[in-house]
Amino acid sequence: MAISISTVDMFCGAGGLTYGFEQAGLPVKAGYDIDPACKFPYEHNNKAKFLLQDVQNVSGLDLAEHFSGSSIKVLAGCAPCQPFSSYSRPYNDRPSKWKLLQDFARLIEECEPDIISMENVLQLKLHSVFQEFIAQLKKLNYCFEYYEVNCLDYGIPQSRKRLVLFASRFGKINLIAPTHNPDTYQTVRQTIENLEPLSAGQASPIDRLHRSSKLSALNLRRIRASKPGGTWRDWPQDLMAKCHIKKSGKTYPAVYGRMKWDKPSPTITTQCFGFGNGRFGHPEQDRAISLREAALLQTFPPTYQFVAPDEPVLFSLVGRLIGNAVPVKLGQVIAHSILNHIHQFN
């Protein structure tokens, strides 16, 4: 008897995880998210249906419709990581933000999937909500395992470490072996060097997403004084901001920096299009990386569309979609791990 698999992607965003799943051969029926901007990229680039719905209003019966007729049910989720991230540490312990993960646990109990995957920031492990989630999996008799994944080990050209959890009714799910090592890590050069050059504030006539944000006259002087891999400490003092000159400013070296050609990029965030928001300066050109370059560093294919042709490309909106996404190749890693597990036990 042939195995039929259906997957539902909770907190699906613009579709990075779903696209990775589909590329790996793990079919996805539907994706849920509360952000209406996700609908176009999710459905345009993927076969799955997008549902604009808050997870707290989704029930196990809703998910059962997507799983109907399938012999194996897979539920994937990446609850928005801001509550747990070091970027928002002062807000980490707000219980209201934990409800996203608690609702994910509720859906597991209600729809009883055969396999579960969850991806999030490493800091999630430090919070009681994670231990509660683990306790719920134990209560429901799932076999579970979680891994600290270095994205560089799987061909993602980005310094990004993530927590990946698997749970199954069949047994332990093993993460697939790394595909890369420090000698073969993918770099910024390998990922974006071939894109056409741009000036700050310029957009490509060929690819609407290949556009860079404008720079003030002061920031243009700053980026010209910046070295690949360096910081604002490389600048002459007249270019430094007051917060840099203060003693407290010395604790923020990872801003106003250029990437290095032959190294991976820093973690791509929702603000990756801004020169002053991190080490997001282009290695050579006097600008921040473009939206397309950010998407490529997130391992989206160069044809992935985030905005409908008749809609404007807004940096804040598209930056959010790209920065919040699960890297496509990480989605493939998770999917291959699940498929190996299914073939082992079925």
Rounded CA separation 63/164 (Å): 22
Q: Note whether 262 and 283 are within 8 A (CB).
A: no
Alpha-carbon separation of residue 272 from 100, 267, 276 (angstroms)? 25, 9, 9
Q: What are the backbone angles phi and psi of residue 75, rounded to the nearest 5°?
A: -115, 120
Interior/surface letters 118-133, b for 16+ CB within 10 angstroms, e for the rest: bbbbebbeebebbeeb
Among this protein's residues, is 81 annotated catalytic?
yes
Q: 3-state class of 334 per DSSP? A: helix
Query: Residue 247 contacts by C-beta under 8 Å, 6 or more apart in sequence?
Result: none
CA 214 vs. chain centroid, Å, equals 25
| CA atoms lying within 13 Å on the CB side of residue 205 | 0
Q: Which of 81, 111, 151, 272 is catalytic?
A: 81
Which tokens belong to 264?
């991976």
Rg (CA), the chain: 21
Active site residues: 81
